[in-house]
Structure 1
Amino acid sequence: MPVRVVESSTPSQISGTNDGQTTPPPCSLLSVGQAFSGTQNVSSLQKDEAWRVNVRIQGCDLDHGYLCGTMEALNVPMADTPVVTFWEGEIVDTKNYTFYTGKWQATPEDDIRHWTKFPSFSPLLSQVEIDGGKSLDLNSYAYIFMRWKEQYFVNVGTDCGLTIAGFYYVCFSCSDGSISGFYYDPNSSPFQKLELKSTNEGRSGFSFSSYELQ
């Protein structure tokens, strides 16, 4: 949720063409109700600014490469209250979605530039450059790659000073539930890094606000 306000493009679906591939295996750390906590670093020429961020998964459908949730930014300078957005995600499973975004102003070159920021993507690069990764079998891969697109503000108006025009390239670790991501929006600071860790609410005492989504 960077600070430049621009109009959001309308999301559109893209479809994979390799029906022989299967979705990534179900992961207990990537399921409805799971919460994550961490930071998003918003950089500028003058300073580095880290926002505290909470994420909760509200829906997950691995068969269709879909998930959704809420993102809460806690210490946004221009906002009087935490800013909550609702996002929808695409899981790169080579069946429903490939590594090439095909929308949201992202070119294949932008895709490669961002995916290569994740060390776990390196073994996949050569094949992705050939066909977007359609022929890859990610079923047993230790990482799940996704795109998260914020759809609307939950608790504030569009005049809050933030933009949701861009989207996040996301890498999820199946082993420990950690998430890293990079925000892409041509009109915002590049490579804003999202770093989240899975939270154990019962033992750590971390509490997450509830929001009714309509």
Structure 2
Amino acid sequence: MRLLTVVGAVAVLASVPSLASAQGQKFAFVNSQALLQNAPGRGEAEATFEKEMVGIRAQLTKLQDSLTAMNEAWAKEEPTLQAAAKEARLKVLREKEQNWGAQAQKLQSQAQDRQEELMAPIMENLRKVLDDMRMEGGYSFIFDVAAGSFIVSADKNLDITDRVMAKMRLSAPKAAPAARPAPAAKPATPGPTSAPAGITKKPPTE
């Protein structure tokens, strides 16, 4: 699942003009990657996501199989067609490919939206816990050592990752949203579309 910048609203590294001006301020750091990998509810969210993706993957496979069959049928009939019939047949094939491509894109968008929906309570809990820890500990900034910062060495006593994790467990959402059936893709209006993942073949041209 996509790793969001969870500390961005709590501590922005670029907002510290210099270490000299930070004297007297209190700092801490966390490893957001470790927090998210072990976040309460993540396993359930991923299991729900995988369960729901079975239907979507089946629909994507069906679209791919239909496109493959269409190309195979075209390869057999193309040599027997006259120019006018061939052009008409190609037009139909292109329209079908665009329609199926649009359906595939829609299914993939639904999958991404659902993934973000399932992770939203976990991300919100993490943001809230970080903000609470900052205020309770009197920290001016909480840095994220997993977010590509330039920190190469730090006092391990400033690492509050374990404390944040403990607090996350206490305030974790009760459960991931219940699984729901994957919606059937509706026929899309033919039109230009970029080639989506899983739909890779194209009907032959003249």
Give the TM-score category using the shorter length: under 0.3
Structure 1 or 2: larger strand share? Answer: 1
Q: Which has the higher contact order (CA 8 A, sep 6+)?
A: 2
Structure 1 or 2: larger helix share? Answer: 2
Q: TM-score, normalised by structure 2?
A: 0.23
